[in-house]
Amino acid sequence: MRRKLAAGNWKMNGLAASLSELDALTTAHADPKVDILICPPAPLISAAVVQAADHPLAIGGQDCHSAASGAHTGDISADMLRDAGASHVIVGHSERRTDHGETDDDVRAKTRAALEAGLIAVLCIGETLEEREAANTLEIIAGQLAGSVPDLVTAENLVIAYEPVWAIGTGKVPTLNQIGEVHDFIRTKLIQRFGDGVGNSMRILYGGSVKGSNAADIFAVSNVDGALVGGASLKAEDFSPIVSALESA
Ligand code: 13P
């Protein structure tokens, strides 16, 4: 049985006042049947960790550098995230792949750094609209998995997030069949590479315009073990129904 995960990616949103949303979330889900993770912007991580202490709420970063330390102005190492109390980090988000030109090689190096620091990596993959329209989705997914995922992963320290780029922040969601096709494909690839044990136990999240209104349908799709949620994770009143839908799935 894979423990389900409801993850929120606040992206570049939120000030200190936004941390009150964490209180609302932990009040609404004091004893959740699923894992809950919030990844606030880096300046809020330490305060979020303090606020989440004694609650079943994990706090994560949104990116890390591949090096442990050094002359990389503005960057954050995995060790620093861990030191601040984070337990997870998102790597390879399409916004970083696009905005910062991150390649699969970069993402693999970041993932390795995250795992070495003792963090759980939430590794994002997904096709663009052009790639889907050219019927290249599965080829792109296979390439990203092969290129971005390092060898030494376990089902405990890596989570895959399938986020079609065209579904992020657009309100467009793939059909349930399309989601199922990609998630089943990812599962097959994980089993081929890491064997039945790890391949079957690693969690695969769906991300892209998940909302309270579509969450239950998405969570009923095979091999969907939770969600990575952007916009609808910013407010507890929006995220809580997604957590509840996952608990009932
Ligand atoms: P939205 O839920 O806002 O579409 O964002 C998804 C996402 O990119 C999460 O990482």
Task: Please say whether the beta carbons of 242 and 210 come within 8 A.
Answer: yes
Averaged pLDDT for residues 151-156: 95
Whether the CB of 164 sits within 6 Å of ligand 1: no
Separation of CA 70 and ligand 1 centre (Å) = 31
CB burial readout 43-59, b (16+ within 10 A) else e: ebbebbbebbeebebbb
Tell me if 40 CB under 6 Å of ligand 1. no
The residue type at 61: G
pLDDT digits (tens, 9 = 90+) for 5-54: 999 999 999 999 999 999 999 999 999 999 999 999 999 999 999 999 99
Gap between the Cα atoms of 196 and 13, Å rounded:
39
- Using only the alpha carbons of the chain, give its radius of gyration: 17
Contact 201, 155 (CB under 8 A): yes
For the whole prediction, is pTM greater than 0.95?
yes
Inter-residue contact 113 to 77 (CB < 8 Å):
yes
Question: How far, in Å, CA of 90 to CA of 80, rounded?
Answer: 14
- 199 alpha carbon to ligand 1 midpoint, in Å? 25
Atom of ligand 1 nearest to the CA of 233: 2
Displacement of CA 151 from its chain's centroid (Å): 19
**93 catalytically annotated:** yes
Question: Measuring from atom 9 of ligand 1, which residue has the nearest CA?
Answer: 230
Find tokens 């989601």 and name the residue.
179
Q: How confident is the model at residue 162 (pLDDT cuts 50, 70, 90)?
A: very high
The protein residue with its alpha carbon nearest to ligand 1, atom 1, reads 230
Among 163, 211, 235, 238, which residue has the most ligand 1 atoms within 8 Å of its CB, making it the best to mutate? 163
Report the DSSP pairing between strands 35-39 and 5-9.
parallel
Q: Is 229 in the pocket of ligand 1 (CB under 6 A)?
A: yes
Which position among 65, 93, 127, 131 bears the catalytic label? Answer: 93
Per-residue pLDDT tens over the stretch 74-96: 999 999 999 999 999 999 999 99
Q: 65 an active-site residue?
A: no
| Sheet strands (E) in the chain | 5-9, 35-39, 58-61, 88-91, 120-125, 158-162, 203-207, 226-229
Q: Report in angstroms the alpha-carbon separations of 154 from 81, 118, 120.
A: 20, 12, 10
Task: Examine the pLDDT at 1 and tell me if it is beyond 90.
Answer: no
